[in-house]
Chain A
């Protein structure tokens, strides 16, 4: 919005609906004493109508600090996105309902290599910018402690090449919002034996773990960025009774293998069923977590073929059942 426009809006606001505005502010200004009661009241009011659209007045009170998703004209704050108001003490921000994934340190994400550079890979994680995976942030065959040599730089494509999928953790976020990833754990690394698809990242519920072993012999990696990997359940290296100190030596070239294991038809069908269950939750704009995915999978067993789950009325039925049987 140009300055002239903003000024014009300000003038209009001042002219005729100033009083009206004050009522639209969820009465945030009632909270001047800042005690517990006041907080509860404000939260309640914010919850009462907590969705705002771009350009909508959030508050006209100058006591609030303006966070992400807001802009100000004079002392008034407006929302710059469609989303929900969140407040931390005096900081008001608007969290967008949709939009690109915003990486945070420690997030478990799935990404796809888009470019191999010098000593680093560029990874698409669905954020505004491609993430960086440094050669020094991956486990190389032959052990964690191994020094990276020039020959490693030359054969980077042998580890990860364009199109490869991997799961990783966000190690750092640069000031411009780009993420730096690492895969220095045997939970992370190249993905195989499965199927990839995406949902909006805003639907993924953050939790302590993002890797789940699901009924039906299927493992799920639910990336915080909305990228999802469903694969055949396999014993991870860490589960085979090898001591942690030996893990490094055990990790050989197989962690960068491009070959799938044998995957039975039943598992392939289960994977299709889980994928459709998650897409049903997505269709109904319901947050995705482990309990709901399993509930949706169980509910879907009513339908003999997973293909029946692509019909929209079936999706609604399944999600209705899920919301009845799971909490939160």
Chain B
């Protein structure tokens, strides 16, 4: 539903003010309350669900599959997501999947997925966005982050010979411990990437934008946050007449703002896992 011209101008002026005045009075970096839970799907290696205040909801499950090491260039992570109400392979779905897949693939060292010289894990991240009113990218990324934090990979069972050295035996098929508690967290030494979408209006940047805020924005910028720094960014279209080119100043300002938002989000999500 398009906004009327007067609504659009009201919102645009409000958001361009310095300091800006968002229609719900939030700060530029303030998120709406979210409801998050981890480990909700018992048949997955890790899962999470996040519900937003506006009714947006996303569920992500992580499955690990054992594959043989065949070629060195084989992908070790696959991300897929369904958006209820949109056809498969819609531009939005492609954006979500490709962004997350690239981010995780680039940051996840394949040695973490090694089982033996012959076998290793392949990670499948599958998400479903049950509803979204605002842009679902941040929602999907946060849920994926939480699901990956929750992910546990089973340990190898000591074989009958008493050793744990499958590598010496070339034909050894790995036997996993039947005890689910006997598993390792995927994220012991690795922390998943977090993708953050900000919208740019004039000189201001906003996180967790509502649909109407995105509708009046100049454009969007997504940043990939990993290991305490921004490792990637991309300009995103937030509406049909979105700008595709921004000045270096507004980009660097936006990156700074989004980095600080990502830092807070990461901290909050890690708190959920431990509680």
* Contact of B24 with A276 in the complex, beta carbons under 8 Å: yes
Residues of B within 8 A of A165 (CB): 4, 6-7
Q: A197 contacts which chain B residues (CB < 8 A)?
A: 23
The chain A residue with its CB closest to the CB of B14 is: A268
Instruction: Give every chain B residue within 8 A of A307 (Cβ-Cβ).
Output: 22, 24-27, 30
Q: Decide: A259 and B6 in contact? CB cutoff 8 A.
A: yes
Q: Are B5 and A258 in touch, CB under 8 angstroms? A: yes
**Chain B residue nearest in CB terms to A113:** B4
Whether B1 pairs with A193 at a CB distance below 8 angstroms is no
Q: Tell me which residues across on chain B come within 8 A of A308, comparing CB atoms.
A: 25
Contacts A163-B1, A192-B6, A311-B33; A272 near B25 (Cβ below 8 A)? yes
Interface residues of B in 140-186 (CB under 8 A from A): none
> Which of B4, B13, B17, B24 is in CB contact (< 8 Å) with A112?
B4
User: By the criterion CB–CB under 8 Å, are A276 and B25 in contact?
Assistant: yes
Q: Which residues of A contact B10 (CB under 8 A)?
A: 193-195, 260, 263
Q: Does A306 contact B (CB under 8 A)?
A: yes
CB-defined contacts of A191 to chain B, threshold 8 Å: 4, 6
* Interface size counted on chain B using CB atoms at 8 A: 24
Asked whether, in the complex, the Cβ of B4 is within 8 Å of the Cβ of A305, the reply is no
- B3's nearest neighbour on chain A, judged by CB, is A163
Tell whether B110 is near chain A: CB-to-CB under 8 Å. Answer: no
How would residues 192 to 203 of chain A score, 1 for a CB under 8 Å from any chain B CB and 0 otherwise?
111111000000
**Are B30 and A265 interface neighbours, CB within 8 A?**
no
Give CA–CA (A195, B212) in the complex, Å: 11
Instruction: Enumerate chain A residues within 8 angstroms of B33, measured Cβ to Cβ.
Output: 310-312
> Taking the complex as formed, is B91 at the interface, i.e. its CB lies under 8 A from any CB of chain A?
no
* CB closest residue in chain A, given B25: A306
Contact yes or no, A310 B6, CB < 8 A: no
Is there contact, CB below 8 Å, between A269 and B11? no
Chain B residues positioned under 8 Å from A56 (CB to CB):
none
Question: With A195-B10, A263-B10, A307-B25 as given contacts, are A164 and B32 in contact (CB-CB < 8 Å)?
Answer: no
Give Cα A91 to B65, complex, Å: 63
A273: contacting residue among B7, B25, B32, CB under 8 A: B25
> From residue B52, how far is it (CB to closest CB) to chain A in Å?
12
Q: Would you call B271 an interface residue if the criterion is a C-beta within 8 Å of the partner chain's C-beta atoms?
A: no
Task: Decide: B11 and A195 in contact? CB cutoff 8 A.
Answer: yes
Q: Which of B2, B7, B25, B27 contacts A269 (CB 8 A)?
A: B25
Closest to B35 in A: A312
Tell me the smallest distance from the CB of B33 to a CB of chain A, in Å.
Answer: 6
Assembly CA distance A271 to B10 (angstroms): 11
> How distant is B213 from chain A, measured CB to nearest CB, in Å?
12
Answer yes or no: A179 CB below 8 A from chain B CBs: no
A124 within 8 A of B: yes
What are the residues of chain A within 8 A of B5 when measuring CB–CB?
A: 163-164, 258
Check B53 for interface membership: any CB of A closer than 8 A: yes
Which residues of the other chain, B, contact A273 by a CB distance below 8 angstroms? 25
B257 adjacent to chain A (CB < 8 Å): no
A162 touching B25, Cβ below 8 Å: no
A309 at the interface (CB under 8 A from B): yes
Q: How far is the CB of B171 from chain A (nearest CB, A)?
A: 58
Picked from A114, A124, A195, the residue with its CB within 8 Å of the CB of B7 is A195
Interface mask (A180-213 → B, CB under 8 Å = 1, otherwise 0): 0000000000111111110000000000000000
User: Which one, A163, A192, A272, A311, contacts B2 given CB within 8 A?
Assistant: A163
Instruction: Mark B224-254 against chain A: 1 for CB-CB distance below 8 A, else 0.
Output: 0000000000000000000000000000000
Instruction: Tell me which residues across on chain B come within 8 A of A310, comparing CB atoms.
Output: 24-26, 30, 32-33, 53
B241 to chain A, nearest CB (A): 14
Q: Is A275 an interface residue (CB 8 A)?
A: yes
Is B13 within 8 A of A272, CB to CB?
A: no
Query: Does residue B269 face the partner (Cβ distance < 8 Å to A)?
Result: no
Closest CB-CB distance, A311 to chain B, in whole Å?
6
Q: How far in angstroms is the closest Cβ of chain A from B56?
A: 15
Q: Mark B31-42, 1 if CB is under 8 A from A, else 0.
A: 011000000000
Max chain B C-beta neighbours (<10 A), residue from A163, A193, A265, A273: A163
Interface residues of B (CB under 8 A from A): 1-7, 9-11, 13-14, 17, 21-27, 30, 32-33, 53
The list of the 8 closest CB pairs from A to B, nearest first, reads: A306-B25, A163-B2, A272-B25, A192-B6, A307-B26, A307-B25, A258-B5, A268-B21
Q: Apart from A165-B6, A260-B13, A276-B25, what 18 extra A-B contacts exist at CB < 8 Å?
A: A114-B1, A163-B1, A164-B5, A194-B6, A194-B7, A195-B7, A195-B23, A258-B5, A265-B21, A271-B23, A272-B21, A272-B23, A310-B24, A310-B26, A310-B33, A310-B53, A311-B33, A312-B33
